[in-house]
Amino acid sequence: MRRTIDWTGAAVTIIDQTVLPAEYRVLELRTVGELVGAIQRLAVRGAPALGAAGALGVVLATRAKGDVEAEAHRVAQARPTAINLSWGVSRALAKLPEGPEAVLAEALAILDEDERINHEASRLATEVVLEHCGRRPLRLLSHCNAGHLATVAWGSALGVVWHLQARGLVESVLVDETRPLLQGARLTAWELAEAGVPYRIQPDGAAAAAMSRGLVDCVLVGADRIAANGDVANKIGTYGLAIAAKHHGVPFVVVAPSSTVDIAMPDGAGIVIEERDPGEVLSFGGTKVAPEGAEVLNPAFDVTPFELVTAVVTERGVLRP
């Protein structure tokens, strides 16, 4: 599979995640405005991929020859919860005094680092999973999408599945459909099918029942921001999964690159939670599914307290409560 996000020499290219699995489409983004639009409509998403997008946004800003810092700030604010976006912007922007070519080199370095970093984080997480579950074919539960599409390449939490599959240690994966945009059903299921990994899609509300029936050996999730105390912001529904996993004695493992850790954020209470368009809940496939005038609560993320987590794993090591 090609990189989720890349640089052609003149434009940012992304796999358009809004049309999968029906269509595999690659878009070219040549302006900051086009990149910001793609980020906000989730054509490119996933914390590590957004880190690369942030850096490449600064590259586009330097080529436009306008107010680079203002345009970079615009990119960084496109989605507030995922810290990787502002991290990528800051890292590229720090090279601005050295000129546009230095900015580009830094952005390309982020792209090149991504697969290695996520491969190592998921390798370490694989050992954590086997430590808790034993070396046998496992039944795993995935929420949202933390695979190749959420990164530049390889994946974070779903990277653990790739490691286990290579060892013949995956029986199947239960894929939460992940409301409101079905990123599990549309994206994770597509990646698993492409890799030949057995899977079943389930409604988000079925996860706790699946654990109660003994159908889940381990829960694997990614993260969009990890506070200094280990609290984890991730796709909405993750908190409920962690509560159910704790109740049923199922290991709950978070896998992310270290760029997702926000050491300036003491705990999860201060993490800004993005609110999505009410239309994502009020309609489905273009058809209204709620009464006219219905009010909506549509947070994109929630925060899981660290005490509910078995381990947070980055490429730098394992953190346990």
Residues that are catalytic: 224
CB-facing half-sphere around the CA of 283: CA atoms within 13 A: 9
* Packing angle, helices 47-64 and 83-93, rounded to 10: 40
Give yes or no for a contact between 224 and 234, defined as CB atoms under 8 angstroms apart: yes
Q: Has 45 been labeled as part of a binding site?
A: yes
Q: Has 79 been labeled as part of a binding site?
A: yes
| The pair of three-digit structure tokens given for residue 211, joined into one six-digit string | 């654990």
Q: Has 234 been labeled as part of a binding site?
A: yes
Residue 274 sits at the vertex; the CA angle it makes with 17 and 211, to the nearest 5 degrees, is 75
Parallel, antiparallel, or unpaired for β 5-7 and 232-235?
unpaired
Amino acid sitting at position 71:
E
Parallel, antiparallel, or unpaired for β 311-314 and 317-319?
antiparallel
Q: Has 46 been labeled as part of a binding site?
A: yes
Q: Has 22 been labeled as part of a binding site?
A: no
| The pair of three-digit structure tokens given for residue 300, joined into one six-digit string | 């994109």
Amino acid sitting at position 86:
S
Peptide bond into 266 cis (omega under 30): no
Report the binding-site residues for substrate: 45-47, 79, 183, 234-235
Report the binding-site residues: 45-47, 79, 183, 234-235
